A and B are shown apart, each in its own frame.
Chain A
């Protein structure tokens, strides 16, 4: 969790106007999509456009993730070969399996070596959208150190499970719990599936609250108008901010005193707790709460 990812906004990779403005919309990350948003006949054009956008546009510090096609498809390998050369922050692998993650990792290592890029710089985001992926999410994450988070893709998952997708989302309760637990276990982000109905504001808010309550750390957005609502709900609580500030203060005091290890309120504070505190403070700042 090296950076807050409250929102990951999907942007179609074949829309120049949307690409041009992607960086100013306020999302923590943007997912330049060359998979579902792009028809088969436009895959090559979208690859070129996305590469050009990453090379030339200012995204104002927004994390750039490119959703590539499944490696089992005719496009996935080519996507990695092409897109990796412009070094997005991460690749999102559709319908990911352990093998896909390992393959992507090997390809990236080769490209980074050939191009003289920093090894391991391009991260991976497996997209969990099959029953297999869901049941193996922990091992998928563990397939590579490059994995920094997982995105739940509920539409494909429910199709694979042969269940109806609903606004209430009971059918993805297990998926959310399983993914959240696996991600927490591996200290990576658990990004919830997008909410598709733009006219159901109440349902959207409930959906985000449910996802957060089950341990998801952020949510994908399919429309920029969803960003603020997601940010508001994923913003840390006042209590969390206060605790995080006290951890950081204690850490600074410990540093001054030359202590490597310290405790707060009688409990030992270790690196993950400090990282989490820093992350909470960062999220609070992003949300305008500090």
Chain B
């Protein structure tokens, strides 16, 4: 069958189940049902601290076919996922599904467990590195499920992803399971992505390298959700957990894109008191923030909030009074971690509060402007950030689809040509984010506005910005690069791309040898 975007998707996928096709970004909103969970209440004087991960696995009664979850706040410095899987592998357990919020190159050992059949399923919001390559080659028994950040929270809350044991890497944890991310040698800041796991898993385990006496304040994940605590030597490598600084690009093309983007934002009419904003940690995104900052200072505009993964640059804007608050699901650098610890109005948020479409209002719904990236964008404004043009998985939505849907103005910024390839194409290799939620594409050679935004097109007409149809941008790129031949992919589905509401927006098929 074809979904509403014309993507060919099986009605039933082996190892995934019956497919609910994507019907539109806002078609599934309305009444929903959340999962109720069973829990085993703690008895007074009961000890939660156990001696080892091995003991934890025994206490949790790990079995074949279970789903275990992890969060990605330690990013490419995370040791916990590998440590837990290594212990599981010693128990001859099979058919485990790993529900990690994201998977990075450091998680390469997963590939080996996929080959032995210990790990047969993976769901994540973002997958890069060797695990992504192995999935793309069809080495995972069941198709991987690619969520969005908000979609993962929704899936857990709805019971679509039932977590048997959640393993929470805890930078600081006390003996009764209170956790925070701001203290300890592995401090990573906000723990927003782990909140749904803690609230909805059958069993929840805190793994920490900074076990402190009770109580560990401030408390981000509270004792009421934690079954066991275990201390290990180290939960992660600080170098991979946070970057020292995130920097504005010096690339002139990136700066040009950023400047034009700031002009679009200015002309949109949204840049006024109460303005809210989100951008990523990439150099061009930060350059947009720098230009927006100049405009806010020049026009004495005070914003309401900035959100998302928070960088030191956003902290600077906040500390200069340009925003009233920060909503932080994940700290991107050390400055953000410090600010999250020290500033009361640097507010942590859960993945659900951030982007879940099926709650009583996500933060993304209040965003004025969101700056997004793209690996490919097609003439219908559909964006791919899941696969490269070779069909190999190299990322995933993360918060892309969530923020695009919520923001009043979703702007994709990208160079028109990357490597030798045009970014604007007829049909993207994989749809991550539907075009109906993308408003503007800004490239160094021109700006395309989604025809559905006639109001914005009118506002931009009076400027000297190079506004043109997206088809013209495609032609300009192809004049320089030629039209690349599409690669041939197999029929086998290796990953299912779920939109934030749980419908299937696209599938990733197996790459050739």
A223 contacts the other chain (CB 8 A): yes
Q: For residue B464, which residues in chain A have a CB less than 8 angstroms away from its CB?
A: 288
Chain A residues near B256 (CB, 8 Å)?
24-26, 224
Within 8 A of A (CB), among B424-474: 444-445, 464
The smallest C-beta distance from B446 to any residue of chain A, in angstroms, reads 9
- A21 and B252: CB pair below 8 A? yes
> Is the CB of A55 closer than 8 A to any CB of chain B?
no
Inter-subunit contact B252/A224 (CB<8 Å)? yes
Report the Cα distance A223→B417, complex, angstroms.
Answer: 21
Check A20 against B444 for contact (C-beta < 8 Å): no
B37 at the A/B interface (Cβ < 8 Å)? no
Decide if B39 is an interface residue (CB 8 Å cutoff). Answer: no
Q: Among residues 127 to 163 in chain B, which have CB atoms less than 8 Å away from a CB atom of chain A?
A: none
Contact for A21 among B253, B476, B479, CB less than 8 A = B253
A249 interfacial by beta-carbon distance below 8 Å: no
Q: A44-100: which residues lie under 8 A (CB-CB) from chain B?
A: 57-58
The answer to whether the Cβ of A225 comes within 8 Å of any Cβ in the partner chain is: yes
Report the nearest A residue to B252, measured CB to CB.
Answer: A224
Q: Least Cβ distance of A231 to chain B in Å?
A: 12
Decide: A224 and B444 in contact? CB cutoff 8 A: no
Contacts of B19-43 to chain A: CB distance below 8 A: none
- Complex Cα spacing A255 to B180, Å: 78
In residues 198-253 of chain A, which contact B (Cβ within 8 Å)? Answer: 223-225
Query: Is residue B344 contacting chain A, with contact meaning CB distance below 8 A?
Result: no
Would you give the shortest CB distance from B429 to chain A, in whole angstroms?
Answer: 24
State whether B480 touches A225 (Cβ < 8 A). no
Contact of A25 among B252, B417, B476 (CB under 8 A): B252
Would you give the shortest CB distance from B442 to chain A, in whole angstroms? 12
Flag if B480 contacts A24 (CB, 8 Å).
no
Count class of interface residues, chain A: 10 to 19
Query: B45 within 8 Å of A by Cβ?
Result: no
With A26-B256, A288-B464 in contact, is A225–B250 under 8 Å at CB?
A: yes
- Inter-chain contact B444/A24, CB cutoff 8 Å: yes
What sequence of 0s and 1s flags, for each residue 4-24 of chain A, a beta carbon within 8 Å of any chain B beta carbon? Answer: 000000000000000011001
In the complex, A224 Cα to B255 Cα: how many Å?
A: 9
Instruction: Please encode chain B, from 101 to 135, with 1 for each CB lying within 8 Å of some chain A CB and 0 for all others.
Output: 00000000000000000000000000000000000
Residues of chain A within 8 A of B479, CB atoms compared: 58
Chain A nearest CB, measured from B244 CB (Å): 20
A6 to chain B, nearest CB (A): 16
Considering the complex, give the chain A residue whose CB is closest to the CB of B257: A24
The closest CB in chain A to the CB of B479 belongs to A58
> How far, in whole Å, are A139 and B181 apart by their CA atoms in the complex?
73
- Give the distance to chain B from A227, nearest Cβ to Cβ, in Å: 8
The minimal Cβ–Cβ distance linking B434 to chain A, given in whole angstroms, is 29
Asked if residues A24 and B445 are in contact (CB atoms below 8 Å), the reply is: yes
* Residue pair B253, A225 in contact (C-beta under 8 Å): no
Cα A223 to Cα B464 in complex, Å, equals 23
Distance of A129 Cα from B464 Cα, bound (Å)? 38
A225 to B256, CA, bound (A): 9
Question: Chain B contacts of A58 at CB under 8 A?
Answer: 476, 479
- A9, chain B: closest CB distance, angstroms: 9
CB distance from A148 to the nearest CB of B (A): 26
State which residues 22-46 of A face B: CB under 8 Å. 24-26
Cα distance A25–B479 in the bound complex, in angstroms: 19
CA distance A20 to B476 in the complex (A): 12
Residues of A within 8 A of B444 (CB): 21, 24
B480: nearest chain-A partner, CB-CB: A20
**Contact pattern, B 465-508, Cβ under 8 Å of A = 1, otherwise 0:** 00000000000100110000000000000000000000000000
Docked Cα-Cα span, A25 to B254, in Å, equals 10
CB distance from B423 to the nearest CB of A (A): 14
Q: Which residue of chain A has the shortest Cβ distance to B464 in the bound complex?
A: A288
CB distance from A49 to the nearest CB of B (A): 15
Could you tell me which residues of chain A, from 164 to 190, have a CB within 8 Å of some CB in chain B? none
Task: List, in ascending order, chain A residues with CB within 8 A of B253's CB.
Answer: 21, 24-25
Chain B nearest CB: distance from A289 CB in Å?
Answer: 11
User: Assuming the A-B contacts A21-B444, A24-B444, A24-B445, are A223 and B480 also in contact, with contact meaning beta carbons closer than 8 angstroms in the complex?
Assistant: no
Least distance between B44 CB and chain A CB atoms (Å): 64
The residues of A that contact B480 with a CB separation of less than 8 Å are 20, 57
Contacts of B476 in A (CB 8 A): 58
Tell me which residues across on chain A come within 8 A of B250, comparing CB atoms.
Answer: 225
A172 to chain B, nearest CB (A): 27
Q: Are A225 and B445 in contact (CB under 8 A)?
A: no
CA distance A172 to B118 in the complex (A): 74
The CA of A290 and the CA of B429, in the complex, are separated in Å by 44
| Chain A residues with CB under 8 A of B445 | 24
Contacting residues, chain B, for A21 (C-beta < 8 A): 252-253, 444
Residues of B close to A288: CB separation below 8 A: 464
CB proximity of B264 to chain A, nearest CB, Å: 15
Q: Which residues of A contact B417 (CB under 8 A)?
A: 20
A4 shortest CB reach to chain B, Å: 15
The chain B residue sitting closest to A25, CB to CB, is B252
How far in angstroms is the closest Cβ of chain A from B474? 15
Instruction: State A58–B445 Cα separation when bound (angstroms).
Output: 10
A284 CB to closest chain B CB (Å) equals 13
Most chain A CB atoms below 10 A, which of B252, B256, B444, B476: B252
> Once bound together, how far apart are the Cα atoms of A21 and B480, in whole Å?
11
Q: A58 CA to B472 CA in the complex, in Å?
A: 14
Cα A288 to Cα B253 in complex, Å, equals 20
Smallest CB–CB gap between A253 and chain B, Å?
28
Distance in angstroms between the alpha carbons of A224 and B476 in the assembled complex: 22
Complex: A224 Cα to B445 Cα, angstroms: 16
Enumerate chain B residues within 8 angstroms of A57, measured Cβ to Cβ: 480
Within 8 A of B (CB), among A101-127: none
Complex Cα–Cα for A223 and B255 (A):
12
Which chain B positions have C-beta within 8 A of A223? 252
Q: How far is the CB of B260 from chain A (nearest CB, A)?
A: 10
Nearest 6 pairs of A and B residues by beta carbon: A224-B252, A24-B444, A21-B253, A25-B252, A24-B445, A24-B256
Give 16 CB contacts A-B under 8 Å: A20-B480, A21-B252, A24-B253, A24-B256, A24-B444, A24-B445, A25-B253, A25-B256, A26-B256, A58-B479, A224-B252, A224-B255, A224-B256, A225-B250, A225-B252, A225-B255
| Extra 19 A-B pairs, beta carbons < 8 Å, given A24-B444, A224-B256 | A20-B480, A21-B252, A21-B253, A21-B444, A24-B253, A24-B256, A24-B445, A25-B252, A25-B256, A26-B256, A57-B480, A58-B476, A223-B252, A224-B252, A224-B255, A225-B250, A225-B252, A225-B255, A288-B464
